[in-house]
A and B are shown apart, each in its own frame.
Chain A
Amino acid sequence: MNDMRIVERDVDTNQNKISARGVQVHYGDKLALKDVDVDILDKTVTAFIGPSGCGKSTFLRCLNRMNDTIDSCRVDGTITLDGADIYDPTIDPVQLRAKVGMVFQKPNPFPKSIYDNVAYGPKIHGLTRNKAELDEVVETSLRKAALWNEAKDRLSSPGTGLSGGQQQRLCIARAIATSPEVLLMDEPCSALDPIATAQIEELIDELRSQFSVVIVTHSMQQAARVSQRTAFFHLGNLVEYSETGKMFTNPSDPRTESYITGRIG
């Protein structure tokens, strides 16, 4: 597994960004996530792995309260962002989502121009005062998402006309345009070919310098390649959470070992 490394394993900081304690999620009567305790570090890529239906996406969606939009979903326990409880009634989920951006499994650009896709977040949050500032935000976001060179001449053409990999980078640009502190990625490469996947992975590593990135992935190789820390979920339990190198070379739980060697999942 060691030869798959493309990134430094070193964690730059030990500062907690997000702390989850005793998080339980119910869909109706069904318990989907059982007592999860996780600390997500700042400026770190954290990967969630596990078989389908293990609760990793559910937990990810707790971090920006996307689960609020599902009527039957109930979240218990506490999740704090920089020490503040994000499920506190005084916290507005809309403001939270500007701080905790999200990239989805399937590229989902708005059926609008590339420019409008990226500018939408800053516009609705009033982050810019005039057109020039907005132009600048759009440019830096597209640059950070490594899409500027391909898109700068066609900013007014529809975002849906881009290729799959470009669309996903556009979605990343859209997510980082609001200057979030955490970027949640829900299987961002599952709909992409290997070349586009490699581009996104490189990008994730670059984004680590500014954001805390949490990525859900089905590909253990991807988790090993891009993350510093990995959490393994199984049947709604957080089985193991440790440094990625340790997880893949010397897992402490037999279930983790079974999963990464392909015996369960």
Chain B
Amino acid sequence: MTDTNAAERPSDRGWGSASYSDRVAKRKRSERLLQGLGLGSIVLAFGFLALMVASLIATGYKAFTQTHVRIEVPVSAELVNPDDIFNSSWRRVMQQSMAVSFPDNSPEEVRAISQILSSGAQLAVRDAVVADPSLIGRTVEINVPASDPFDQLNKGLIDRATPEANRRVTDAQIAAFDELVAEGRVSTPINWGILTHADSRFPELAGLRGAIAGTLWLLLVCFAISFPVGIGAAIYLEEFAKKNRMSDFIEVNINNLAAVPSVVFGLLALAVFLNWFGLPRGAPFVGGLTLALMTLPTIIIATRAALKAVPPSIREAALGVGASKQQVVFQHVLPLAMPGILTGTIIGLAQAIGETAPLLLIGMNAFITAVPDGPFAASTTLPTQIFIWADSPERGFVSRTSAAILILLAVLVMLNGLAIYLRNRFERRW
């Protein structure tokens, strides 16, 4: 504490000495390095994410518009039966319309030109007349979707310089299409059909409504099963079970289950749910059951961690005033653990929403053109729909696959946002 002591101290311990500033510089350098590494990791991760989203948008954005052609359709009373508008011969109505629109061309040429329109065009006309029967006998002017090759042509995806034999549209068809463009009949509005239509063989008509509905049904079933069962199991294991070899064995198996490849769950579901229980093939209910099996370990592990994280002082406080074990768990521990439990559930459901392999095995990759009206109706899900579209040969499905992936990402973001909002509300209650 005196001067002599200070003098005895090695000179390099002083404030301004060389080794002092060396040590400080070294420490600051390593701190900067660590921060830099962390920042670098984040930039790298976001870079890859941005790259993926950018490439999806680059290929997918064209699927969010759809070429339409405005045509005049004379709805003659001879062809349309007012008592059964729905089942009238709309094909012939369309043929008549094309013949009227291109009076100078031969019937063969007209048939070729009519391929510009989607085969769904007659359905658009039909629906318009069903909605307003007074149109019978008059001429309807209506925007109908163009068929896929002309949608591609309009979006510049078909090179006109390619020899005629190597492309799907003939020179005569291109000439007719250009004529329509010149007349101002061709437009490319936003393609709401991708959200409002179910699947179709024709890319211009295919949409994701069936897959979105299937995914929601599946998630509902998955949540309804895995959430209560997972929490129940976790509460029992964490709060009530005696810690012995048996509980260790169960714990190891639950952790193991979380790492089992999803295709194994699919095979199990195929053997048990479909072949043994005889549940319907391709139903969201079966998919939900299967994914619940996969989500369970995630929820159990997260719930146990959340229960463990509740401070023991709260348990003691409740026990101290004479709360029973069950009251302690349900009135104090569980509400405090809820945010953590919800986070685990979000992670589990986010995994489930993107799961494909087990659903392929239980037949959720079938071609289904109806929107499922319940958990027992056959349907696809967003990931299996992406799988189907990615496998389809039509050119239009290339961009639609990317668009579907973007929509899947958007659904994920929305569900995660909702869950985080719910979690925050739980946290704010106290």
Binding site for B on A (CB under 8 A): 64, 66, 69, 71, 94-98, 101-104, 106, 108-112, 120-121, 124-125, 158, 160, 171, 174-175, 177-178
| CA of A106 to CA of B311, assembled, Å | 12
- Whether the Cβ atoms of A98 and B430 lie closer than 8 Å is no
Q: How many residues of B contact A (CB 8 A)?
A: 19
Contacts of A125 in B (CB 8 A): 322
- Of B85-93, B145-153, B255-263, B313-321, the segment with at least 4 beta carbons within 8 Å of chain A is B313-321
Shortest distance from the beta carbon of A155 to any chain B beta carbon, whole Å = 16
- Whether the Cβ atoms of B321 and A98 lie closer than 8 Å is yes
- Whether the Cβ atoms of A121 and B322 lie closer than 8 Å is yes
B243 nearest CB neighbor, chain A only? A71
Shortest distance from the beta carbon of A171 to any chain B beta carbon, whole Å = 7
Contacts of A111 in B (CB 8 A): 314, 336, 430
Please tell me if B323 contacts chain A, counting CB pairs below 8 Å: yes
- Whether the Cβ atoms of A71 and B242 lie closer than 8 Å is yes
Contacts of A120 in B (CB 8 A): 318, 321, 323
Which of A71, A158, A178 lies in contact with B321, CB distance below 8 A?
A178
Contacts of B314 in A (CB 8 A): 108, 110-111
Contacts of A175 in B (CB 8 A): 320-321
Q: Name B283-327 residues within 8 Å CB distance of A.
A: 311, 313-324, 327
Contacts of B332 in A (CB 8 A): 110
| CA of A95 to CA of B322, assembled, Å | 6
Q: Contacts A110-B332, A111-B336, A158-B430 hold; do A101 and B317 have CB atoms under 8 A apart?
A: no
Contacts of B336 in A (CB 8 A): 111
- Whether the Cβ atoms of A178 and B430 lie closer than 8 Å is no
Contacts of B323 in A (CB 8 A): 94, 120, 124
| CA of A141 to CA of B318, assembled, Å | 17
Top-10 shortest CB links A-B: A98-B322, A108-B313, A102-B320, A97-B322, A121-B321, A111-B430, A108-B317, A94-B324, A94-B322, A124-B323
- Whether the Cβ atoms of B430 and A66 lie closer than 8 Å is no
A184 nearest CB neighbor, chain B only? B320
Shortest distance from the beta carbon of B237 to any chain A beta carbon, whole Å = 14
Q: Can you report 14 residue pairs joining A to B where beta carbons are below 8 Å apart?
A: A64-B320, A94-B322, A94-B323, A95-B322, A98-B322, A102-B316, A108-B313, A110-B317, A124-B322, A124-B324, A125-B322, A158-B430, A175-B321, A178-B321
Contacts of B242 in A (CB 8 A): 71
Contacts of B319 in A (CB 8 A): 66, 69, 97
| CA of A98 to CA of B320, assembled, Å | 8
Which of B243, B315, B316, B327 lies in contact with A124, CB distance below 8 A?
B327
Contacts of A104 in B (CB 8 A): 313, 316-317, 320
Contacts of A102 in B (CB 8 A): 316, 320-321
| CA of A124 to CA of B319, assembled, Å | 11
| CA of A104 to CA of B327, assembled, Å | 19
- Whether the Cβ atoms of A97 and B430 lie closer than 8 Å is no
Contacts of A106 in B (CB 8 A): 313
B321 nearest CB neighbor, chain A only? A121
| CA of A103 to CA of B336, assembled, Å | 21
Contacts of A110 in B (CB 8 A): 314, 317-318, 332
| CA of A109 to CA of B311, assembled, Å | 12
Contacts of B321 in A (CB 8 A): 97-98, 101-102, 120-121, 124, 174-175, 177-178
B335 nearest CB neighbor, chain A only? A111
Contacts of B318 in A (CB 8 A): 110, 120
| CA of A224 to CA of B174, assembled, Å | 105
Contacts of B317 in A (CB 8 A): 104, 108-110, 171, 174
Contacts of A121 in B (CB 8 A): 321-322
| CA of A61 to CA of B107, assembled, Å | 100
Contacts of B324 in A (CB 8 A): 94, 124
Q: Contacts A110-B332, A124-B327 hold; do A178 and B322 have CB atoms under 8 A apart?
A: yes
Shortest distance from the beta carbon of B132 to any chain A beta carbon, whole Å = 60
Shortest distance from the beta carbon of B310 to any chain A beta carbon, whole Å = 10
